[in-house]
Amino acid sequence: MNQINWGMIGCGAVTEVKSGPAFQIIKDSNLVAVMRRTPDKAKDYAKRHGVPKWYDDAKKLIHDPDINAVYIATPPDSHARYAIMAAEAGKYVYVEKPMALNSSECEQMIKAAQKADVKLFVAYYRRSLPSFVKIKEWVDSGAIGTPRLVLIRLIRPAFEKQSADAELPWRFRPEISGGGLFVDLGSHQLDYLDYLFGPIVSTKGFACNQAGLYPVEDMVSACFTFEAGVVGNGTWCFSGSRESSTDEVEIIGSKGRIVFSTFAFTPVRLETASGVETFDYPKPKHIQQAFIQTVVDELLGHGQCPSTGVTASRTTYIMEKILNNYYHK
């Protein structure tokens, strides 16, 4: 095998720029077919992006003999179903984050991939973005000494429907998303910290809905301890004012600290007794491109992808524990 030929299930907004075009740009990769349940939309996506084939049936795409890997870009409630189908068909699997609705589904996906002897990857692509690679270099090299504490603060204004009878987006419907914006956005932060410090080994959290605008949580607070002994504390508020909007992670060590934004692509900052060092890397046009290249490289035997089903399942498990008091009252 000298090329990965992709089939993509789901043609939503995330695939228009963030991921979809990257499959046709990176080395040794090609996007062969796309699938969407609405035929006209599937056909339109394929035409606009120069994809040879389109389907309105996931099973047909998965069993297309020209395809050897499947990218699942649907909402989380169908991730497990499609991932298991693809694995059972002998296809490699790359699935959007969060990995699934819950940790039980994650385990089913992992077992299906292991049984079929295919690899399973999850789109926690910040692990491959240059700014986040630089942060890991600073941590691993001892630039801040021994890491002691991580502080996360993510505050955003509340989402409000444009009209009372408008349908809520899927990210605010727990039966589809598995939780609110904490699950959608906070998962990136918790996964990346898992990459830096290893698995979270203990956690306690509390979640509630303060604004009453939708059924999912809008406020989350948690504390946790990593395998490396680092202690963490996080606050996620999705009903704050615009003026209070905050996106900051701070890693405090015995000899300095690192401060960065998860989503804003501002320069990351290293502060030590020697002074302040910054690293700036503008947001890439196709934000998943570098990460997808690592997936292709591993599948072709000359590289390693930093995010697998096993690592991603840990993040789902931790979020599930943090949200337990809200969804299992």
pLDDT > 90? residue 200: yes
Nearest to 139 by CA among 297, 280, 254, 1: 254
For 201, other C-beta atoms within 10 Å of its C-beta total: 12
- pLDDT value for 135: 98
Q: If you average pLDDT over residues 203-225, what whole number do you get?
A: 96
> Looking at the domain 4-125+289-305, which fold is it?
Rossmann fold (3.40.50)
The pTM (predicted TM-score) of the whole model is 0.96
Residue 1's pLDDT band (cuts 50, 70, 90): confident
The rounded mean pLDDT for the chain is 96
Length of the chain: 329
- pLDDT value for 162: 72
Query: What are residue 256's DSSP bridge partners?
Result: 253, 272
pLDDT digits (tens, 9 = 90+) for 86-141: 999 999 999 999 999 999 999 999 999 999 999 999 999 999 999 999 999 999 99
- Residue 273 and residue 203: Cα distance in Å, rounded? 32
What is the percent of the chain with per-residue pLDDT over 90, rounded to a whole number?
A: 96
Q: What does CATH list as the number for 130-283? A: 3.30.360.10
Nearest to 194 by CA among 317, 102, 320, 314: 314
pLDDT digits (tens, 9 = 90+) for 16-51: 999 999 999 999 999 999 999 999 999 999 999 999
pLDDT > 80? residue 329: no
DSSP 142-175: TTTSSEEEEEEEEEEEPP--SSTTSPPPGGG-HH
